[in-house]
Amino acid sequence: MSVALGITRPPLVRSIPIHHPEDLIARLPQAPPYAWVHHQEGLVGWGEAARVEVPPGPGRFDWARRWLATAFGEAHIDDDVHVPGSGPVAFGSFTFDPDAPGSVLVVPRVVLGRRNGRAWLTTVGEAPIELMAPPRSPGRIVYGDGSLTAPGWQHAVARAVDEIRSGRLEKVVLARDLVATAEHDIDVRILLERLAAAYPDCYTFSCAGLVGATPELLVRHTGEAIESLVLAGTTYRGAGPAEDKARAAALFASAKDRHEHACAVASVREALTPLCASLTVPDEPELLVLPNVQHLASRVQGRLADGASVLDVVAAMHPTAAVGGTPTGVALEVIRELEGMDRAGYAGPVGWIDARGDGEWGIALRCAYVEGRRARLFAGCGIMGGSDPAAELAEAQAKLRVMRYALEG
């Protein structure tokens, strides 16, 4: 019996080559979608061959890896494609706080994949017949405060600055939430379509109600090779090319933003060094330009020493200083003291893993939890000793515009 996959006999998992779907997201049926799409490549899925709530605690990634080994090991795999993402795949979302419940892994019954000029279809057992109804607009959107009002959140930022200046820590990331209520039930597919079209440089994702477009790649694992994109340090887009260039120059010259970025890169280096036979970390950041903001970015690349799976790397890296702070333990304490909310999956790892241990995982930024007509939107800012509460609030509002656009069109 295949207990993990919930099927009374070992399932057949079949991956076959197909003609290129022009748009992966457009092929999603009305069923709750799973997605990881970047520049029209990636994976989308639907149906549930298996779903599990990962128990909270410090060993949750080890538990998840063991569960996946059982689930994938019970399957008969017929894979004619043999690329990362073919064969059985699980989508996952892990909570930011390891002690918080809500982490989930799902093995879809159907997955469509597209990578490097190849496309494929994977099915687990008999593929379900799903309704291909067009996505419906959520209609009018009404917004309300989340856990803190805007003045309340600015006060939390000011308190965080005091903690940093006192020497308790170097940096902390504070998140803000906003509640949206729609006229109609929110069809996640329309959010995915809008996000993928407007933010192709981001990773558009959907897993168990968590949907968004993150610019931050936590790790890409292909064989022994791994890659991570570290983002920290942010400024707005300008009104035109000249203002864009001036803002970018000011970002590179900002001691506060450069220190914030250095903290994030150092945390990634520290996490990856024990796992890697070789690791390349750039001396200087580059600029990642998105439609709404510009980030300092560093691409870190390495080769694993012992063939660890992508979840092993995720476990070592989360939480990075880019979403938690420095030092990590103290930053988590300050987050719990000041944010006044449960982040759930916001700023937690989200992505996919296949039976080979390959996969891609991002940090769930620029995202929302969607349930019925309600969506809870999230954004966060890195707080340093020189942070200004009003400026941080403006940055959070700029980041919230990503999901507001997805809802409003």
Tell me: the pLDDT tens digits for 37-86? Answer: 999 999 999 999 999 999 999 999 999 999 999 999 989 999 999 999 99
| In the chain, where the domains are located | 12-408
Q: Is the pLDDT of residue 6 over 70?
A: no
Tell me: the pLDDT tens digits for 26-49? Answer: 999 988 999 999 999 999 999 999
What pLDDT shows up at residue 128?
67
Q: Is the pLDDT of residue 367 over 50?
A: yes
Q: Which residues are tagged catalytic? A: 171, 216
Tell me: the pLDDT tens digits for 246-266? Answer: 999 999 999 989 988 998 899
Return the percentage of the chain with pLDDT > 90, whole number: 83
Give CA–CA dist 177/380, Å, rounded: 9
What pLDDT shows up at residue 1?
29
Could you tell me the fold of the domain covering 12-408?
A: Anthranilate synthase (3.60.120)
Question: What does pTM read for this prediction?
Answer: 0.92
Tell me: the pLDDT tens digits for 126-158? Answer: 876 676 788 889 999 999 999 999 999 999 999
